[in-house]
Structure 1
Amino acid sequence: MVLANFLGVVLLMELIAGGYRFGADGLSMNYYVFNCPLAEPIVRSTVTSALQSDPTLAAALVRMHFHDCWIQGCDGSILLDSTKGNTAEKDSPGNLSVRGFELIDDVKEQLENQCPGVVSCADIVAMAAREAVSWSGGPVYDIPKGRKDGRRSKIEDTINLPFPTFNASELVRVFGQRGFSAQDMVALSGAHTLGVARCSSFKTRLSDPVDPTMDSDFSKALAKTCSGGDNAEQPFDVTRNNFDSFYFQALQRKAGVLFSDQTLYNSPKTKAIVNNYAMNQAMFFFDFQQAMVKMSLLDVKEGSKGEVRADCRKVN
């Protein structure tokens, strides 16, 4: 843990040495230092309080950030509610398990009272995910701020989310299209050390014939879970609320919950990375934080390309 946190500091120092700035319109680590100095403390205290009451929110906040960034970039589009003429991203089948919207609303209300029209919803989502990772025992890292909120949120765009049925080659391909290496992809998949999957996401692995890549006892455990229906939940690893390397150790035991999890160990393209992370948690933490910073910069809206919503659920 000490080594992982040290590595996080090293990464931050490298980013600082690079001038803090990301992008032509000035994303920076210290974006809110002068125009809303309490932004980071408000996000941190509110998220911490929520996680103390419900530790399972950590996984939800990380998932929200990923699903936001993957579709149209990190622009808060996953927060927009559907309207009479438009079905938004959050109502897609792939996003029905995303939650934590009320927490984002709470943070936004406090920030609007403190410094109206300054802190974007997209930045709140990114900062909340960062806090969730560190609160759960994961790496401590920082991200550049200054994203603007997008105005588009359409259910049809979510077809581009990675599917739980993807094999390693498909995952490498789709992540590669967004600028991620195979190592980045496996590190980001490690976020599944937090949270649960619903039976609907893995029940096809239990069909006749049962997926042979699963341990036989584990397949029986999944079948027992699914006896509770499609919404029955199965933790990804034995410490569902702790950010650690147990997820990768589960893959080594052929106990990956989703097909897209277990395929990382079964494929020669990614097996060595899984083994490294299972053995060396500090390495996983370091690679994860770098991949998260990279993800947080996906197609961000800056300057006139977006807005700062007054209400995260609707455009201004």
Structure 2
Amino acid sequence: MAFIRGAGFASVALLLVVVASVAEGHRPELTERYYDKTCPNAQNIVRAVMERRVAGYKRMAPAILRLFFHDCFAYGCDGSVLLQNPESSDDERDVEANKSLDGFDVIDNIKSELEHNCPATVSCADILAIASRDAVAMLGGPTWSVLLGRKDSRFAHNNATYQLPSPTGHLDELLEVFQDHGLDERDLTALSGAHTIGMAHSCENFNDRIKHEDAEDIDPYFAAKLQHSCDQNDKCPVYFDEQTPMKFDNAYYQNLLNKRGLLTSDQALYTHGSWAGELVSIYANNQEAFFADFKTSMVKMGNLSPPDWMPTEVRLKCSMANY
């Protein structure tokens, strides 16, 4: 079930034209040089806005990265998570898993700058892909070449929760979700390393980990500390990595070795399954190995495209479809 924006004869006519154009063939392949002629300064504009916003508020970096992940896992990287209908609570960003998403205003700022320089050219989906790369680099992580040419969906997918991995998921459940998106064990383990920055926004995301009295996969001191914080305020955000929360490094994996993963889905990578545990150990001891695999998996995830039947466009405003 999805929410379609637009009403009236003109909108329906436009929708039919777009559907027809998409139905003629597969989506074009993404390329690094997509905007070389139409908007050669696009990536510099994205980076400039990101630098201003992250310098003023570092938490925007993990927020943007999370936006990209949630967008790509709901029917491909199509900017659908950015859509908002003020007259409805049926948007993708309104589903439970997306209610704590942040950074929409940053993407809107970037889009405004790009529309001023290159009107109706750079898609919101591409903006999110570039901004996510820059967010990682600005916090000390790796950088990579972003493939471009995505188009923006006219749909907001209000069943997005079913496409996302659960914070309480165990290894086999997590892997099934990733495999459904064409991603594998290495992608799951490497992309989970994004939790080296950012935070869980509510204790309900990890209550299952600290409530088990006989749990063997959590450090007792860590569990007691989390329980104390939640007793004070169960809506208080908690960093995934309390040692270097705003530095993109391999500390996340070191925490897993010490049974200090915040979410069940974090610790599951090391507690269960030899292939994941082996990768966690490698990444914990070799940051460059983590960075290399993370870059590869980000490009792979960024290549997830919407179904061919889905109508797409280049939005003029990221929060609403064109009319």
TM-score, normalized by length of structure 1?
A: 0.89
For residues 196 and 98 of structure 1, what CA distance do their matches in structure 2 show? 11
> Is the Cα contact below 8 Å between 1:86 and 1:154 reproduced in 2?
no
Change (3 A) 1:208 1:133: closer
1:243 is matched with which residue? 248
1:40 is matched with which residue? 43
Displacement of 1:300 in angstroms is: 4.5
Q: Which runs of 4+ in 1 moved over 4 A?
A: 300-305
Percent pairwise identity: 40
1:131 is matched with which residue? 134
2:22 is matched with which residue? none
1:170 is matched with which residue? 173
Per-residue deviation, residues 161-217 of structure 1 (Å, max 9, x unmatched):
110011111111211121111111100000000111131201122225363311100
Per-residue deviation, residues 274-299 of structure 1 (Å, max 9, x unmatched):
00000000000000000000000102
Q: Secondary structure at the match of 1:98?
A: coil
Change (3 A) 1:299 1:50: same
1:90 aligned partner, one-letter code: R
Displacement of 1:24 in angstroms is: 5.5
1:70 is matched with which residue? 73
> Is the Cα contact below 8 Å between 1:172 and 1:185 reproduced in 2?
yes
1:298 aligned partner, one-letter code: L
For residues 125 and 83 of structure 2, what CA distance do their matches in structure 1 show? 11
Does 1:111 pair with 2:114? yes
- Give 1:99's match in structure 2, choosing from 102, 108, 125: 102
Change (3 A) 1:75 1:210: farther
1:96 aligned partner, one-letter code: K
> Is the Cα contact below 8 Å between 2:46 and 2:127 reproduced in 1?
yes
Structure 1 residue runs of 5 or longer lacking an equivalent are 1-22
Change (3 A) 1:119 1:210: farther
For residues 112 and 211 of structure 1, what CA distance do their matches in structure 2 show? 53
Change (3 A) 1:303 1:42: farther
Displacement of 1:37 in angstroms is: 1.2
1:253 is matched with which residue? 258
1:151-230 paired onto structure 2 within 5 Å = 151-197=154-200, 198-209=202-213, 211-230=215-234
RMSD between aligned alpha carbons?
1.8
- Residues 74-83 or 123-132, more deviating: 74-83
2:34 is matched with which residue? 31
> Is the Cα contact below 8 Å between 2:71 and 2:78 reproduced in 1?
yes
> Is the Cα contact below 8 Å between 1:137 and 1:243 reproduced in 2?
yes
Displacement of 1:236 in angstroms is: 1.0
Per-residue deviation, residues 18-53 of structure 1 (Å, max 9, x unmatched):
xxxxx8624210111110111111000100111111
2:210 aligned partner, one-letter code: L
Change (3 A) 1:183 1:139: same
For residues 115 and 232 of structure 2, what CA distance do their matches in structure 1 show? 43
For residues 243 and 63 of structure 1, what CA distance do their matches in structure 2 show? 14
Report the number of matched residues.
Answer: 294
> Is the Cα contact below 8 Å between 2:95 and 2:160 reproduced in 1?
no
For residues 55 and 230 of structure 1, what CA distance do their matches in structure 2 show? 23
Structure 2 residue runs of 5 or longer lacking an equivalent are 1-25
> Is the Cα contact below 8 Å between 1:74 and 1:301 reproduced in 2?
no
> Is the Cα contact below 8 Å between 2:30 and 2:149 reproduced in 1?
yes
For residues 273 and 313 of structure 2, what CA distance do their matches in structure 1 show? 44
Displacement of 1:159 in angstroms is: 2.3
